[in-house]
Structure 1
Amino acid sequence: MTQTALSVSELTRLIKGELESTFPAVRVRGEISNCKKPSSGHLYLTLKDEGAQVPAVVWKHTAARLQTDLRDGMSVVAEGRLEVYMPAGRYQLICSSITEEGQGALQLAFAELLRKLSGLGWFREEIKKRPPRFPRSIGLITSPTGAVIEDMQNVLSRRYPAAALRLYPVKVQGRDAAPSVVKALRWFNAQEGEARPDVLIVARGGGSMEDLQAFNEESVALAIYRSGIPVISAVGHETDITIADMVADLRAGTPSIAAELAVPDSLELLRSLREHTSRQSALAMSKVQGAEREIESIRGSYAFNRPLNLIEQFSREADSFPERMRLTLNATLRDTLHHHEAALRHLSLLDYRKTLERGYVLVKKEGKVVTGGAALGEGDRVELSFRDGTLEAEIRGDLCSPG
């Protein structure tokens, strides 16, 4: 029986369907070789070990998300799917992610610690401490070599030279890095008085996840969490996120940004001060001018001038007071004299001598005036007072009733 011959395309298509359906997702460990980075943005490389090799492709959109800078000789773990490239008649691995070998375990540890500390509430914003606006001194925890310390010194001297910078040199990579950073944090917190910084900056440059591992250790996170001094974390580049960044009171994308967050801009402060002084001067001048206008208004008002008018009026009245007093006293004296004369005239009418002059006689018995005949009897001795003298007499007979 003769078997029908397949075309190359048909055979390749069958292999493609079978292979791609059998291996829709794979994880492959190997060493990178022949890594190419053309201007298209795609990455082309070969994964190999001691017994075989497989071509691999990383499309542009995936390459942009990689956390690792791929290079020849790097041991990696690639995840993706197998694909048959029919024009060349070969299969290749289409990578969805590539991590440096050993980073898988680091990522698992990172995720586990992240869940633990999140459950403890170490990332909550309400427990974050705010660095002082005008720090006297800044504690810097970083490597004494490299561009980090130089960049931060330049930023701090330019923005706020008044702040003193105190460096505690530490290892920022390797087995001893985490204990070194923890020791620095504890040392700064143990200082007192002027030796104690107002803010701490933990910084290092970028790197792979393995390079930054010290800042994903729980011991470093605990030392930052317990720090009584506000901590600014500036670990790696802006795209790198570490546990230290999330526990710290502030996170900066780069060490230079951390320096900018730690201190104010002195030039901006001076501009703000000048503007504030100008505004206050203008406000004070406006208030003074307003007060002057108000004073002028008050000086011209009736209420303000009325006391002066009253004083002038009282002065005129005081000048005329002696004359008015003399006239008043004279009038009072005349009235008093008139009253006195009238009283004298009235009293003269009551004088009994005036009555005697009209022909009447005053009769007294034993020195007392007799006003009626019933008071006299036969033989009583009386005294008779006339206009021109007195006589003694004796009563003869009884009182005769009229008519």
Structure 2
Amino acid sequence: MSQATLSVSELTLQIKNELESLFPLVRVKGEISNYKRHSSGHSYMTLKDEQAQIAAVIWKNTGSRIGIELQDGMEVLAEGRLEVYPPSGRYQLICTAIHAAGQGLLQQAFALLLQKLAKAGYFNPERKKKLPRVPESIGIITSPTGAVIEDMGKVIERRFPAARILLYPVKVQGADAARDVVRGIEYFNNPANPLHHTDVLIVARGGGSMEDLQAFNEERVAEAIYRSSIPVISAVGHETDLTIADMVADLRAGTPSMAAELAVPDRMDLLKTIDNLQLRRNTLVQAKLDGAEMEIDSLRQSYAFNRPLIQLQQLSEKLESIPELLAQSVRRKWLQKAVEFAGANQHLALLDYRKTLERGYALVKKEGRFITGSGELECSDRAEILFHDGSVTATVSGKPIP
């Protein structure tokens, strides 16, 4: 029985179907060589060991989630699926995740990122934000299960139960951990969520190896903390652990429980502070009252304050003397007017024509009018002659003698 003849395309398609169905998900450890990042954002490389090699591809979307800088000579753990590429007749690994393999490589990646972020000013003390003294709400980004969130909740409840706790649950280890942490920070900073706005954020997880803490050493997590408008406390691992997130955060806590203590004040200390402020306020108020009373007493005893009373007393005394002064003034005026009247009366007496008549003079009237010269009389004119004791009627009998 003869075997059917296949075309190259048909054979390649059969191999493609069989191979891809046999290896839908693989994990490969190898050294990177011929690494090249294309302008499209895709990356191409070869994974090899001492005896073999395989082509690998990292598509753009996957590459944006990788928190390490890949380079030739780096040993990595790559996850993905096998794919046959018919145009070249070769198979390749399509990577869906990639991690540095080995503590030494993680340390190398840590050092490279540390140097990069330090140069960009991510660790500068002057850019770090101060924590609010009395926060109303606290956002916690950590795993929803385990001792971390429970311990932090107990500390906050004991120290400052008035604070509102908002939990954003995330994975704290594995391929999606860094992405979840970034989303949590962005969630609380989003102005579209005003009801979920917090005064301080805590990014926390328990202790572990460097591989376990790798999510908090990724650049995108550092970037999210750096861009946060809300102060961030980092509490990753134990006190001896140090991550990139710790150094970028506004404050680093040795443990999650310490982060909770740093985030909120002790209510007993607050109550003591309030009592001290109340006592100080009362003391200041009493001192001001005492000072005001002393000032009032000083004013009451001062000449300026008593001057109106003195003036009022002086005016009262003047008022009592006014009737006597008025009487004296009236008497003085009356005597003055009496003297003036007597003088005027005496002067009038001197001018009285009757006094002149008593000395032998007479007045002549013609037709009711006094005449002053003889030329005003004619012969036969009737005239009235006035003496001091009476008058007579006379008729002119001759012409006036010049």
Tell me the CA shift for residue 201 of structure 1: 0.1
Per-residue CA distance 1:323-352 (angstroms, 9 max, x = gap):
543443344333323322221111221222
Judging changes above 3 Å, is the alpha-carbon distance between structure 1 residues 395 and 232 closer, same or farther for their aligned structure 2 residues? farther
Note if 1:137 corresponds to 2:141.
no
Counterpart of 2:171 in structure 1: which amino acid?
A: K
Unpaired segments of 5 or more residues in structure 1?
Answer: 1-99, 399-403
Equivalents in 1 of 2:125, 2:194: separation in Å?
Answer: 28
| Secondary structure of residue in 2 paired with 1:200 | strand
| Secondary structure of residue in 1 paired with 2:259 | helix
Equivalents in 2 of 1:369, 1:306: separation in Å?
Answer: 77
**Are the counterparts in 2 of residues 199 and 229 from structure 1 also a CA contact under 8 Å?**
yes
TM-score (norm 1): 0.63
Q: Which residue of 2 aligns with 1:286?
A: 287
Note if 1:170 corresponds to 2:170.
yes
TM-score (norm 2): 0.63
Note if 1:254 corresponds to 2:255.
yes
Equivalents in 2 of 1:377, 1:313: separation in Å?
Answer: 76
**Are the counterparts in 1 of residues 166 and 196 from structure 2 also a CA contact under 8 Å?**
no
Of residues 375, 378, 400, the one that matches 1:396 is 400
| Secondary structure of residue in 1 paired with 2:361 | coil
**Are the counterparts in 1 of residues 363 and 370 from structure 2 also a CA contact under 8 Å?**
no
Q: Which residue of 1 aligns with 2:227?
A: 226
Q: Which residue of 1 aligns with 2:203?
A: 202
Counterpart of 2:164 in structure 1: which amino acid?
A: A
Note if 1:297 corresponds to 2:298.
yes
Counterpart of 1:396 in structure 2: which amino acid?
A: P
Counterpart of 1:231 in structure 2: which amino acid?
A: V
Counterpart of 2:268 in structure 1: which amino acid?
A: L
Note if 1:308 corresponds to 2:309.
yes
Judging changes above 3 Å, is the alpha-carbon distance between structure 1 residues 205 and 369 closer, same or farther for their aligned structure 2 residues? farther
Counterpart of 1:171 in structure 2: which amino acid?
A: K
Q: Which residue of 2 aligns with 1:96?
A: none
Note if 1:237 corresponds to 2:238.
yes
Counterpart of 1:122 in structure 2: which amino acid?
A: Y
Equivalents in 2 of 1:377, 1:124: separation in Å?
Answer: 138
Per-residue CA distance 1:75-102 (angstroms, 9 max, x = gap):
xxxxxxxxxxxxxxxxxxxxxxxxx972
Segment drifting more, 217-226 vs 376-385: 376-385
Tell me the CA shift for residue 173 of structure 1: 1.9
Equivalents in 2 of 1:395, 1:356: separation in Å?
Answer: 25
Unpaired segments of 5 or more residues in structure 2?
Answer: 1-99
**Are the counterparts in 1 of residues 128 and 249 from structure 2 also a CA contact under 8 Å?**
yes
Judging changes above 3 Å, is the alpha-carbon distance between structure 1 residues 362 and 234 closer, same or farther for their aligned structure 2 residues? same
Equivalent positions of 1:350-369 (< 5 A) are 350-362=351-363, 367=369
Equivalents in 2 of 1:216, 1:315: separation in Å?
Answer: 95
**Are the counterparts in 2 of residues 142 and 149 from structure 1 also a CA contact under 8 Å?**
yes
Equivalents in 1 of 2:162, 2:347: separation in Å?
Answer: 111
| Secondary structure of residue in 2 paired with 1:106 | helix
Per-residue CA distance 1:138-171 (angstroms, 9 max, x = gap):
1111223444323322321222111022222322
Q: Which residue of 1 aligns with 2:157?
A: 157
| Secondary structure of residue in 1 paired with 2:138 | strand
Counterpart of 1:148 in structure 2: which amino acid?
A: V
| Secondary structure of residue in 2 paired with 1:202 | strand
What's the % identity of the aligned pairs?
Answer: 57
Q: Which residue of 2 aligns with 1:122?
A: 122
RMSD after superposition: 3.2
Judging changes above 3 Å, is the alpha-carbon distance between structure 1 residues 302 and 183 closer, same or farther for their aligned structure 2 residues? closer
Note if 1:213 corresponds to 2:214.
yes
Equivalent positions of 1:54-73 (< 5 A) are none
Q: Which residue of 2 aligns with 1:325?
A: 326
Q: Which residue of 1 aligns with 2:24?
A: none
Segment drifting more, 233-242 vs 213-222: 233-242
Judging changes above 3 Å, is the alpha-carbon distance between structure 1 residues 253 and 363 closer, same or farther for their aligned structure 2 residues? farther
Tell me the CA shift for residue 268 of structure 1: 1.3
Equivalent positions of 1:369-388 (< 5 A) are 370=372, 376=375, 385-388=386-389
| Secondary structure of residue in 2 paired with 1:140 | strand
Number of matched pairs: 296
Per-residue CA distance 1:193-233 (angstroms, 9 max, x = gap):
44322211001233333222101112212222333332211
Judging changes above 3 Å, is the alpha-carbon distance between structure 1 residues 110 and 365 closer, same or farther for their aligned structure 2 residues? farther
Tell me the CA shift for residue 235 of structure 1: 1.7
Tell me the CA shift for residue 110 of structure 1: 2.2
| Secondary structure of residue in 2 paired with 1:173 | coil
Q: Which residue of 2 aligns with 1:107?
A: 107
Equivalents in 1 of 2:306, 2:222: separation in Å?
Answer: 78
Segment drifting more, 299-308 vs 177-186: 299-308
Tell me the CA shift for residue 285 of structure 1: 1.4
Equivalents in 2 of 1:384, 1:176: separation in Å?
Answer: 157
